[in-house]
Amino acid sequence: MWRARVMAGMAHRELRPTNRRPAGARSWMRSMPKGNHSPQLWHVGRVSPYQPATGWRPADRASAIDAGLRALLKEGHGAATPPREMLLAEIPAIVAQYGAAAERAKAAGFDGVEIHGANGYLIDQFLQDGSNKRSDTYGGSIENRARFLFEVVDALTGVWGPDRVGVRIGPSNAFNEMHDSDPEALFS
């Protein structure tokens, strides 16, 4: 599945819009056994590393909480980038990047998409109050913390329709230092 995401140009941490080898992805899809094939679309948020060679510095975290996380770098594991809370004005662009990735998945011939909202990645960072300390419309109440996920769902269902979009969540998953003060209320 990883190779399919790379070939379709959808495996980027930051979901940068790209047209990387869609023809290769279509070719790969033809060689797969019959069945339902849906790539996971994800953004790691605060688990991102700073990349000095390119100057790329991720700014996309729900809140500026340094959990001392490690990231997978080209050279091996290293420190994740010190966090900076995503600005309100940056959020629509991230939602649009999810939509662009969904469009690439459709062009590549996949059968649907799954949103990865677990494992301490960006959507999970917005959902859980241990990582989301925002005081704007994306923080505080469960409804506010779920707003980012719902905006991503809307973007993807606009491409695929509601019957071709799934959401992966991780209730009570502590991976990447995640926690919530009331997980039963959040995930019920």
Among this protein's residues, is 121 annotated catalytic? yes
Active-site hit among 50, 98, 121, 138: 121
Closest CA to 160 of 171, 152, 168: 152
Other CB atoms within 10 Å distance of the CB of residue 55: 7
Closest CA to 109 of 163, 35, 161: 35
What's the CA gap between 72 and 114, in Å, rounded?
22
Q: Tell me the CA distances in angstroms from 151 to 22, 83, 98, 121, 154, one per residue in order.
A: 26, 23, 10, 16, 5
Q: Token digits for 95? A: 């939602």
What's the CA gap between 141 and 186, in Å, rounded?
10
Residues known to be catalytic = 121
